[in-house]
Amino acid sequence: MRMTHLVLMTTLALLLAAPALADDPRELEWLELMPAEEAETWLAESGQVDHSGFEAPEPFQSYSTVGDLDGENVRIPGFVVPVETDGNGKLKEFFLVPYFGACIHVPPPPANQIIYGRLEEPIPMVNIWDAFWMEGTLNIEDISNNTADAAYTMDVDRLVLY
């Protein structure tokens, strides 16, 4: 009787925990945002960039996305590039990029390596030198402005220090 009770209690606990576990965001790495063959090409070409400042390299650009990620609850680390603030200087919208200085770096990352983040509630401005985890619903959507082009957007639930 005791063993049956223990098995039932364990099963009940697992069943109750399953929905909470299902809501945990999937942790992504940046290269998962582009098709595999493009990731290989981009990595090969990025290794040949001349950072001396004498030559302006031709940027690798791609808007190709991974359809299975559309609408997924995800978590990804990166650096914040502020785009829009509210009237009180709080952060509302931003680009998340895979490495510090990406939007002013020569060349910038391709659009499918940049995510445009939208916060429902503005937060105090963050330090752009710090890395952050961004969590929320990832969407396939092209965004373009004077700073960068992005092939993904995110409805951001959380932005926390890495």
What pLDDT does 90 receive? 98
What pLDDT does 129 receive? 94
> Quick one: average pLDDT of 3-15?
48
Please say if the pLDDT value at position 12 is more than 50: no
What pLDDT does 6 receive? 46
How far apart (Å, rounded) are the C-alpha atoms in residues 162 and 152? 21
Q: CATH number of the domain at 61, please.
A: 2.40.50.870
Does the residue 140 lie in any domain? yes
Q: pLDDT > 70: what percent of the chain? A: 77
Q: In the 8-state DSSP scheme, what is residue 88?
A: T
Tokens of 67: 């359809």
Does the residue 121 lie in any domain? yes
Q: In the 8-state DSSP scheme, what is residue 28?
A: -
Q: Is the Cα dihedral 100, 158, 117, 76 positive or negative?
A: positive
* Residue 103 lies in domain: 26-161
Please say if the pLDDT value at position 122 is more than 50: yes
What pLDDT does 105 receive? 58
Does the residue 15 lie in any domain? no
CB 69 within 8 A of CB 33: yes
Neighbours of 116 (CB within 10 A): 26
CB 5 within 8 A of CB 24: no
pLDDT digits (tens, 9 = 90+) for 48-96: 655 565 665 567 899 999 999 999 999 999 999 999 999 999 999 999 9
User: For the chain, how many structural domains are there in total?
Assistant: 1
